[in-house]
Chains A and B, each alone.
Chain A
């Protein structure tokens, strides 16, 4: 009798079978959607931008420090540098929201890749989930690097290699093209946290870890791709034609003591190093540090932009010291 029932409903059962087969075999949790950035950590660095010489908490070596001190932001106005993107690791350094989606095999339904949207200055990150190996070390380093991933429970662990040279902070602290960047993407309800860990044998003395959070906004409509092709043009007339590259010679960076003047933080801390990341470093500061009397710039703000980023507050939100600067 049961067999007769099965015969009569074989088409329904076959449909059910196909449905079962199409369940993604590997996904542990759905990361897809539009995720808005919560800039409750390092808002100033991610939004308006870091101070010119601020390497606090970065485990950099002397070579990295020297390159950072030679950096001038005017360098980015050179036509040949205007369209240089940030490497994939900028995903946890920048202020942007994320759109995340997966690509699946149309026949098996298995996930082939997870993708993280591009931003105006970063390419799409493709996280290959199909077991393909990383290319040889001397293979092409594309703008988006090369990333593979695997699930560890509800956490997607991704490893990026083949990055181009880039920045660890937007004030010129460099990363090399030998950087390996791992991401741990963990979703808890409507909150997504990414722990990013940097390994750079050229510029870091130990791994550097950053974690950021985003929150799901179903009505968001983030652009998955770079909004428009980058077209360089001459922005500064003095940078045309003479071959000059804006920079500071060793010992001549005029901003090296700006953090000390504004925030009373000693130069040795401002210049970074692994020791500045650990709690015991506070001992070195305890007897000499005196906080500034009052906040004079970037005092309030948690949004994406410089102006009016603290709704409802009369507060100094910008860099010039005026209330609710736009």
Chain B
């Protein structure tokens, strides 16, 4: 008799706990996800975080190498190869300017370290547009499986984006349609096909083989401030001895009143 009660009780308990655990595994993102819901139709609707709006870079790190053009030969913090040093030692900004190469330090591998404001918006349901007022550059972060563009590499390269969903606890619904969405997550972007440029204004190079991987995280503070941190990993077998890891941070601004586009400059 007792075992007759035990059996269905055990089954029920296992089912209840299994259901709870599946939620936990889903919450752990890529590690689990057995019961992941069907993917939403567009990247915009699936957005777990809101990146749109106006952001300003806060230059609290590497000030001397970002706010002003450092001296020729100043490569502190960058894990360059001897070949990269040879090229950087020959840096000639006047020559770059004359050759129409004044945007070399505004390419995708460097632009987020440049003191700038960002204006982020949706170009369409599967493309985030990131504009910078410094150098008047535009990055297009394309979701899905976008076809690489034809033609020569560009300063901003080809960026493939994906949301990394980590939530599952709440119903945010930031996107269109009002479908309950996971609350937390981040953006991952992989950029290739970049035109060779400079990691630093004073000629520290990255090559056409460089790959930029970025993780975009947004955090909200108790005082209401919103911060964007872009963890940037640059792999370049030609010019870097190890992966170059930086994490520029940006603060959300209420409007675009301080937006002031300026052209690229090889010297400033």
Which residues of chain A have a CB within 8 Å of any CB of chain B?
2-4, 6-7, 10, 13-14, 16-17, 20-21, 23, 25, 27-29, 38-44, 56-58, 152-155, 157, 182, 184, 186, 188, 191, 193, 195, 197, 199, 207-213, 215, 263-265, 269, 276-282, 285-286, 289, 291-296, 298-302, 310-315
Contacts and interface: CB of A to CB of B under 8 A. Distances in A.
B17 interface: yes
Contacts of A10: 6-7, 10
A313 B87 CA distance: 13
Interface of A is mostly: mixed
B219 A295 contact: no
Interface stretch (B39-47, B62-70, B122-130): B62-70
7 contacts: A17-B14, A21-B17, A29-B28, A42-B62, A157-B219, A263-B71, A286-B268
Interface stretch (B137-145, B154-162, B190-198, B226-234): B226-234
Interface of B: 3-4, 6-8, 10-11, 13-14, 17-18, 20-21, 24, 27-29, 31, 48, 56-64, 67-82, 85, 115-117, 133-134, 164, 166-167, 182-186, 188, 202, 215, 217, 219, 221-223, 225, 227, 229, 231, 233, 241, 243-249, 251, 258, 260, 268
Contacts of B63: 56-57, 276
A40 B231 CA distance: 12
A197 B221 contact: yes
B4 A195 contact: no
A278 B58 contact: yes
A251 B188 CA distance: 50
B144 to A, nearest CB: 21
Top 8 closest pairs, chain A to chain B, by CB: A153-B184, A153-B166, A279-B115, A295-B74, A56-B63, A295-B73, A154-B166, A43-B77
A43 B21 CA distance: 43
B80 to A, nearest CB: 7
A199 to B, nearest CB: 8
Given A20-B21, A41-B247, A281-B67, 12 more contacts: A4-B7, A6-B10, A7-B7, A39-B77, A154-B29, A191-B231, A211-B61, A211-B247, A279-B133, A300-B76, A314-B82, A315-B85
A267 B247 CA distance: 28
Nearest to A20: B17
Contact of B56 (A58, A279, A295): A279
A191 B7 contact: no
B233 A311 contact: no
B77 A44 contact: yes
B186 A186 contact: yes
B64 A265 contact: yes
A282 B265 CA distance: 13
Given A211-B61, A291-B70, A298-B76, A41 B246 contact: yes
Contacts of B69: 289, 291
Contacts of B70: 263, 291, 295
B249 to A, nearest CB: 5
Given A186-B215, A197-B227, A291-B70, A208 B60 contact: yes
Contacts of A43: 76-77
Contacts of B81: 312
Contact of B229 (A4, A195, A302): A195
Contacts of B221: 182, 197, 207
A191 B215 contact: yes
A94 B24 CA distance: 35
Nearest to B85: A313
A188 B166 CA distance: 11
A295 B58 CA distance: 25
A207 B76 CA distance: 27
Given A208-B60, A295-B70, A13 B244 contact: no
A296 B11 CA distance: 74
B59 A57 contact: yes
Contact of A16 (B14, B185, B223): B14
A25 B27 CA distance: 10
A184 B229 CA distance: 10
A58 B61 CA distance: 9
A133 B77 CA distance: 40
A197 B225 CA distance: 11
B217 A191 contact: no
A276 B60 CA distance: 9
A154 B268 CA distance: 39
Given A291-B69, A312-B241, A279 B77 contact: no
A195 B73 contact: no
B105 to A, nearest CB: 13
Contacts of A302: 76-79
A25 to B, nearest CB: 7
B202 to A, nearest CB: 8
B61 A210 contact: yes
Contacts of A13: 10, 14
Given A16-B14, A157-B219, A286-B268, A40 B229 contact: no
Contacts of B248: 211
A197 B231 CA distance: 16
Contacts of B80: 300, 310, 313
A7 B215 contact: no
Contacts of B202: 291
Contacts of A281: 59, 67
